[in-house]
Amino acid sequence: MVGRGTTLIDVEISDLVTPHVDLRDASLRRVRIRGGRIGALDLQGARIGDLVIEGTRIDYLTLAGAHIATSRITDAHVQSLDLPMATIDGLVIADTRIDELHPQGMRAEGLDLRGANLRRVTSVQALRGAILTPWQIEGMARALAEATGIRVEDAGP
């Protein structure tokens, strides 16, 4: 069984159904997770290069403090994506629903969220460096205004 501090290289995991996967402080290179359902996928503090998560439902995915490069999440549903203090040098999220995104303290150079259906972002100011579409920005307009101190009110009488 894999666990905390594990090194995974050239691994494919298909149709995994489990309540919890603990890969804190792990090193992952060329890892594919396809299909299945994971309650919590803990990649806190992990060093990640070329991770692909595809067609998977994850209730809670934490990448807090992780270093992520050249990775992709596609055709997935993530209820809560936790990115505090993560360093991202290449993560594409495509055709994926994210119910709640927590980017506090994240450092992003190449976080491509254009293919993400973002339901809620807890800290829009922390999205610095992320790539978004105009329609995503429109959906966050009120939160962006509030984060910058702009008051948004309906026109007066």
Quick one: tokens of 108? 């992003």
Contact in structure between 95 and 74 (CB atoms under 8 Å):
yes
3-state secondary structure of 64: coil
Interval 43-59: pLDDT, tens = 999 999 999 999 999 99
Query: Which candidate, 108, 2, 107, 97, places its Cα nearest to that of 55?
Result: 97
Interval 81-109: pLDDT, tens = 999 999 999 999 999 999 999 999 999 99
Interval 11-30: pLDDT, tens = 999 999 999 999 999 999 99
